[in-house]
Amino acid sequence: MKLIVSIVHRDDADQLLRALQREGYQSTKISTTGGFLRAGNSTILIGTEESLLEGALKTIRENCHVRTEYVNPLPPVMEPGELYIPRPVEVQVGGATVFVMDVDRWEKF
């Protein structure tokens, strides 16, 4: 048994959940926040048999897309009279950040 922890863009999450459900995977969506952009993303938990792991990863790959986002860097410490013109920095986000973990034990009560 494996647990897939997949951090995806929130705009991809519902489509991914539907695709997983169609293919017979059980999943849970958690609303999360990225530490760098401080923007909302979604974390999808999928518990699956090891034999079905690659299929789940393929579904994630097919439903999660790379996006370009812009972040305003923190302003530097300024001396009096200095002018700082903020320039957004381009950041590539996604498609998905995926961690696969072994599950020691799985119970449903």
Q: Please answer whether residues 31 and 62 qualify as being in contact, where contact means their C-beta atoms are separated by less than 8 angstroms.
A: no
Q: Which is nearer to ligand 2BA, 30 or 91 (CB)?
A: 91
Q: Where are the beta strands (DSSP E) in 1-109?
A: 2-9, 26-33, 40-48, 67-71, 89-93, 96-102
Helix, coil or strand: residue 108: coil
Is residue 91 near ligand 2BA by the rule CB under 6 A? Answer: yes
- Scanning 28-36, 54-62, 75-83, 100-108 for contacts with ligand 2BA by CB under 6 A, the matching segment is 28-36
**What x-and-dash track marks residues 46-85 binding ligand 2BA by CB under 6 A?**
----------------------------------------
Distance separating alpha carbons of residues 99 and 101, to the nearest angstrom:
6
Q: Of the two residues 23 and 70, which places its CB atom closer to ligand 2BA in the complex?
A: 70
- H helices of the chain, in order, are 10-22, 53-63
Binding site for ligand 2BA (CB under 6 A): 7, 34-37, 39, 41, 91-94, 97
